[in-house]
Amino acid sequence: MFSDEAGQVTVSDATVTRTVIGAVRENAVRHGDRAAVRDARQELGFSRLAAVVPAAAAGLLRRGVRPGDVGAIHLEGACDFTLALHTVTAAGAVPVPLPPGGSASELARMMTDCGARFLLTGGETAAASLAATERSYVRQVFAFGEAPGATPFARLVSAGRSVSGEPAAEGEAGPLDAGIDPLGDLALRLCDPPEEFTHADRLADLYRLAGSVGMGESDVLVCGRRELPVATWVGLIDLCLTHGATFAATAGSGVGPLADAIERHEATIAVVTPAELRALTYDHDPVRKPGMRLLVTGTPDPEIVRACRERNGWTVSPLD
């Protein structure tokens, strides 16, 4: 999926949704509903992800969402975030992730600046984002769980299924996937700082990460959200989805939740900041997980790298 016959990395004319959800379907055949994404509250399996995204995207279309429309995503958990992100792109719309901890005024400004017409929210983020919609162009809100005035995400899924229970629109990945221009149409928009990514851009980032991380289907990658650029967070989730690996989000920031997640999820790979690398090496009891790989979001100190290898038996390399 990531190289041609000569082994050279190539960017095809596929969209992000076709590439990622197509791989998810293949992994669902091989692994069933094995965990694709985990967070503090739930687990999302490959089979469920492959079934829900096309149906929910068809539900968005039936609710009037059109290709090129902007959809804001304000969610904390990695499982709901993954479903929301790929549902929006499968419908041909443009996802704009918003910071989970943003205030209502900050969120309203971001929604207005990006021109969001609909919102996906839920859980503890819903109160702030629902308040923000009153000062934005958002006209439809879809929520994971119950939220006042919002359409439940589950209803989108139901609306997008035919009488037989299959997705209402056929295709490998989503209802409008085949009509998207990978080079010109956006697959991700960020607010602070403003940045835009086409489908081709996101696929190029995915291929780059694949070469840097060297992931296999037996890997479990643990990663915190707040320490990473949004595009990298999204790319690492998609990297796990395409390779049949498991992405596990930490329950909070700092070395404590990170170490807990490494042990709880039996991680083989963890993404850390230089500060977390130092803390894991010197300030925290050794984690009993030999052979693990750490990917550092910066240039690690060689002395700390050496100490980490000697103390924990881990390899350390930069996340390029």
CA distances from residue 217 to 67, 78, 83 in whole angstroms, order as listed? 33, 19, 20
Contact 209, 235 (CB under 8 A): yes
Same fold, 16-208 and 214-318: yes
Query: In the prediction, which pLDDT does 161 show?
Result: 79
Residues 253-289: pLDDT tens digits?
Answer: 888 899 899 989 999 999 999 999 999 898 877 677 7
Per-residue pLDDT of the chain (320 residues; tens, 9 = 90+): 444 443 333 445 689 988 999 999 999 999 999 999 999 999 999 999 999 999 999 999 999 999 999 999 999 999 999 999 999 999 999 999 999 999 999 999 999 999 999 999 999 999 999 999 999 999 999 999 999 999 999 999 998 875 335 544 433 444 546 578 889 999 999 998 899 999 999 999 999 999 989 999 999 999 998 878 999 999 999 999 999 999 999 988 888 899 899 989 999 999 999 999 999 898 877 677 778 999 999 888 999 999 999 888 899 999 97
Amino acid making up residue 87: T
Domain ranges of the chain: 16-208, 214-318
Going by C-alpha positions, the residue among 265, 316, 307 that lies closest to residue 286 is: 307
Distance from chain centroid for Cα 88: 12
Q: Model pTM?
A: 0.91
Residue-wise burial string across 285-319, b where 16 or more C-beta atoms lie within 10 A, e elsewhere: eebebeebbbbbbeebbeebbebbeeebebebeeb
Domain 16-208, CATH class in plain words? alpha beta
Query: In the prediction, which pLDDT does 162 show?
Result: 53
Tokens of 20: 């990622």
Side-chain-facing half-sphere of 128: CA atoms under 13 Å: 22
Contact 64, 91 (CB under 8 A): no
Q: Which CATH number fits domain 214-318: 1.20.1580.10, 3.40.640.10, 3.40.50.720, 3.40.50.980?
A: 3.40.50.980
Contact 297, 276 (CB under 8 A): no
Residues 22-42: pLDDT tens digits?
Answer: 999 999 999 999 999 999 999
Helix segments in 32-159, DSSP class H: 46-62, 78-90, 104-114, 126-133, 153-159
